[in-house]
Structure 1
């Protein structure tokens, strides 16, 4: 369990650094395309960090990780099914997952500052909720 705790804390620290680097959502409209692409990369990193935490819990508990082309979505669904995350939390994270998919497969010139602003505004709150749910899981082990 100590090893899991260390890996999760390491991910949390990377997520905190990512969040600290994000501008406020009010400033996104004034950013250049290049700066907006940087914020998009931070949102992508944020979601990847959350996925890494969930994957660490799955591995520590011997749960099968989803695979296949929809494994990112299936990971959220499985986290709910195994009571690692609440359904409402997974719904919030699905917004970040959708953005992650768009960012990975789209063009930086198509980034929408307004859509990104809501994600930037919500990222810290979503992270706090995820931390609370993961911490509950680590304490109880169920």
Structure 2
């Protein structure tokens, strides 16, 4: 593979990592006590997933790992990130990360498409705690993939 697309992807990784870190810091600082705070926390969790999904889209685009069934695009994109594609790229996500992010993906879908839906404060708080507790798995997986990209740049 040419180095230019890998370099662009590495640059995108850096940018998205900075965005995710800012969002994560705000998630940590948000104490959802009132309805408005719960809505704000839900918005942040939605944005965190969207930042990750944008990164996954760039990975798929770089390695020509297309999603054919657009009706299940978000689910299929996340599934593809846990696949090792022999001769092309290693998996991006471990099983642990995939399960956490699949729950966050489902929440993002509800948040984005349920206009007449009252957010359940306990569910939002629980998801926040799950993300904060398990974020290290996601960071580890992303770091491993960055190492792969950097190694591929040297080849």
TM-score range, shorter chain: 0.7 to 0.9
CA contact (8 A) 1:58 1:64 kept: yes
State the TM-score, normalizing by the size of structure 1. 0.84
C-alpha distance in 2, partners of 1:97/1:81?
17
Cα shift readout 1:32-88 (whole Å, capped 9, x = no counterpart):
x22221111101000011111212222222221455121111111111123221122
State the TM-score, normalizing by the size of structure 2. 0.78
Q: Which runs of 4+ in 1 moved over 6 A?
A: none
Which runs of 5 or more residues in structure 1 are unaligned? none
2:125 to 114, 117, 131: 117
**Structure ID, larger Rg:** 2
CA contact (8 A) 2:81 2:93 kept: yes
Question: What is the alpha-carbon root mean square deviation over aligned residues?
Answer: 2.2
CA contact (8 A) 1:19 1:123 kept: no
Which runs of 5 or more residues in structure 2 are unaligned? 1-5, 85-90
Provide the aligned length of Structure 1 versus Structure 2.
Answer: 139
